[in-house]
Amino acid sequence: MTKLIAVLGDQLSHDGAALRCGDKGTDVVVMAEVREEATYTGHHKQKLALTFAAMRRFADELERDGWHVRYTELIDNDNAGSLVGEFARRAEEEGAEEVVTLAPGEWRLRQAFESAPLKIRQLPDDRFICSEKRFADWAEGRKELRMEWFYREMRRETGLLMEGDDPAGGEWNFDKENRKPAQPDLFREPAPTFRKDALVQEVLDMVEAEFPDNFGSLDEFNWPVSRAQAERALEHFIAHNLRDFGTYQDAMLAEDRLLHHSILSSCINLGLLSPREVCKAAENAYKAGDAPINSVEGFIRQILGWREYMRGIYFREGPDYTSRNALNHKRDLPWFYWSGETDMACMKAAIGQTRDLAYAHHIQRLMVTGNFALLAGIDPRQVQDWYLAVYIDAYEWVEAPNTAGMSQFADGGVVASKPYISSGAYIDKMSDYCGGCAYDVKAKDGEKACPFNSLYWHFLDRHRDRFEGNPRMGLIYRNWDKQKKETRDAKLKTAEAVLAKLDRGEAL
């Protein structure tokens, strides 16, 4: 009996469990570009183009590999518009009674598949290193689900960067060596470029025609769309950027939008590269003496630690995770998150490159745009909607715990033991943005004061009841209490003026 093997747009791996259980002789692979997936959020144009181009490339590869593939393009006349609709249409055409797929990375789709009028078998997505069951076992009975403990277990379990029972280099975590600001004249190898062939060009044209008003520009589209291109991106990173990845991981430079980051998240999230092989490639570079331990450990921790941990949290916490709002933040997301029209140089840079590349690196997401939203008390649901829309690598299983959890503290501390907040001083230390800013990073109050400065204290003051007793924040409150009353009042007044401007819909 024929079964349909459904491959979703972020399941582009030849060795996933669904394809492994199929039979090339009798089964049919179904892939569909559908409006429902293209519009559940206002995806960046580059994200749409990458998804469709990579899906088409993958379908070609499957056909060359001997699979019978039924592929629906977005603008096909008989496109049913949703994944379930397309599965039903193809099942009828092929006389199939069952659809097999990897469980999607979103509660929304899992629930839609469960309540579909045809049988859709969702297999555990075994492309992740840690299964959902394994994560649940680890989490069971723990008072706190801290990433660091999870990560150490994953190191032991996979043997990555282990020397017998001990961590390579003698420590589990080399983060204290990884906080250097980058020098503008530091040499960095330019990112590899990927040729826009006819397939990619056709998709770019289609996206521009079908989604003209979506956020972002297609001009600088340069994403790997196939396994071969993704392998090239990985090789480039290992050869040129891994060495200094750790040291400058938290740095930001106005003239360098990528620094030493790997730019591999879209390849891994789409399935073009497996997290295991990426970690292994980094470990091999360490063993060969080509990259130092602080960089290799820092890099592997992002993938084996943070990435796997975030997915574990998303599925363990349940579908209501995205609607949590522990700090009761209700302010609307300022419109300049979409336009980039702000005098704050750091925000302008982060939003501008997000528009142009669908990419900003972790510290820009966490300590610039995320930090600002948290300090300003923006509704975390609206913040999540923004992050889900604007980044090339955005899928809810990883975006939501990063945004609601790590960045906005909306989950009340499941992911983060304290809020990731900072005044302008941190941004000034880690970047060269402040020199070219209309605001004064050293000024704490008054019209020209960096908005991060006054909002920082306003946040701490208004959430005193919740955070004062946090052992990692006691010192900050003591510092606040030591300041003269007039000084504190001036900061709070400045913050109130900043917030009032936001409420009036004015630019900052």
Q: How many helices (H) and strands (E) does the chain have?
A: 25, 7
**CB of residue 55 to ligand DLZ, shortest distance in Å:** 7
Binding ligand DLZ (rule: CB under 6 A), the pick from 38, 96, 100, 129 is 38
Alpha-helix residue ranges (DSSP H) falling in 261-366 = 265-270, 275-287, 293-300, 308-317, 336-339, 345-357, 362-363
The interface mask with ligand DLZ, positions 371-410, x = CB under 6 A, is ------------------------x---------------
Q: Does 172 bind ligand FAD (CB under 6 A)?
A: no
Binding ligand SF4 (rule: CB under 6 A), the pick from 16, 83, 424, 463 is 424
Q: Which two tokens stand for residue 105?
A: 């990375």
Distance between CA 292 and CA 101 in Å, rounded?
A: 40
Q: Does 303 bind ligand SF4 (CB under 6 A)?
A: no
Between residue 10 and residue 69, which ones bind ligand SF4 under the rule CB under 6 A?
Answer: none
Binding ligand FAD (rule: CB under 6 A), the pick from 294, 302, 342, 453 is 302
DSSP 99: E
Q: Does 33 bind ligand DLZ (CB under 6 A)?
A: yes
Neighbouring residues of 168: CB distance < 8 A, sequence distance ≥ 6 = 161, 162, 286, 293, 297
The interface mask with ligand FAD, positions 402-431, x = CB under 6 A, is xx--xx------------------------
Q: Which is nearer to ligand FAD, 85 or 298 (CB)?
A: 298
Between residue 105 and residue 164, which ones bind ligand SF4 under the rule CB under 6 A?
Answer: none
**CB of residue 279 to ligand FAD, shortest distance in Å:** 10
First CA to last CA distance, the chain: 63
Closest-CA residue to 415 (of 426, 424, 404): 404
Instruction: Decide: 44 and 216 in contact? Cβ < 8 Å.
Output: yes
**Which option in ligand FAD, ligand DLZ, ligand SF4, none does residue 433 bind, with CB closer than 5 to 8 A by kind?**
ligand SF4
Q: Does 99 bind ligand SF4 (CB under 6 A)?
A: no
Which helix (H) or strand (E) element contains residue 119?
strand 119-123
Distance between CA 242 and CA 223 in Å, rounded?
A: 19
Instruction: Decide: 218 and 45 in contact? Cβ < 8 Å.
Output: yes
Instruction: Decide: 126 and 276 in contact? Cβ < 8 Å.
Output: no
Q: Does 32 bind ligand DLZ (CB under 6 A)?
A: yes
Please compute Rg for the chain using Cα positions. 23
The interface mask with ligand DLZ, positions 49-68, x = CB under 6 A, is --x-----------------
Point out which span in 7-15, 198-206, 233-241, 309-317 binds ligand DLZ (CB under 6 A): 7-15
Q: Does 437 bind ligand SF4 (CB under 6 A)?
A: yes
Binding ligand SF4 (rule: CB under 6 A), the pick from 103, 344, 350, 375 is 344
Closest-CA residue to 351 (of 217, 199, 461, 471): 217
> How far out from the chain centre does Cα 433 lie?
23
∠337-340-345 over CA atoms, to 5°? 110
162: three-class secondary structure by DSSP: strand
**CB of residue 251 to ligand SF4, shortest distance in Å:** 14
Q: Does 247 bind ligand FAD (CB under 6 A)?
A: no
DSSP result, 223-249: ---SHHHHHHHHHHIIIIIHHHHTTTT
Between residue 442 and residue 461, which ones bind ligand SF4 under the rule CB under 6 A?
Answer: 450-452
Number of residues that bind ligand FAD (CB under 6 A): 28
Phi/psi of residue 10, nearest 5 degrees: -115, 30
Binding ligand DLZ (rule: CB under 6 A), the pick from 42, 85, 105, 305 is 105
Q: Which is nearer to ligand FAD, 18 or 358 (CB)?
A: 358
**Which option in ligand FAD, ligand DLZ, ligand SF4, none does residue 27 bind, with CB closer than 5 to 8 A by kind?**
none
Q: Which is nearer to ligand SF4, 58 or 452 (CB)?
A: 452
Point out which span in 30-38, 163-171, 299-307, 446-454 binds ligand DLZ (CB under 6 A): 30-38
**CB of residue 359 to ligand SF4, shortest distance in Å:** 19
Closest-CA residue to 107 (of 486, 397, 383): 397
Instruction: Decide: 27 and 2 in contact? Cβ < 8 Å.
Output: yes
**Which option in ligand SF4, ligand DLZ, ligand FAD, none does residue 394 bind, with CB closer than 5 to 8 A by kind?**
ligand FAD
Neighbouring residues of 327: CB distance < 8 A, sequence distance ≥ 6 = 377, 380, 408, 409, 410, 463, 466
Binding residues for ligand DLZ, per CB under 6 A?
8-10, 32-34, 37-38, 43, 48, 51, 83, 104-106, 109, 395
Which stretches of the chain bind ligand FAD, using CB under 6 A?
A: 261-265, 268-269, 299, 302-303, 306-307, 310, 361-362, 365-366, 370, 387, 391, 393-394, 398-399, 402-403, 406-407
Name the residues that contact ligand SF4, by CB under 6 A.
344-346, 424, 427-428, 433-434, 437, 439, 441, 450-452
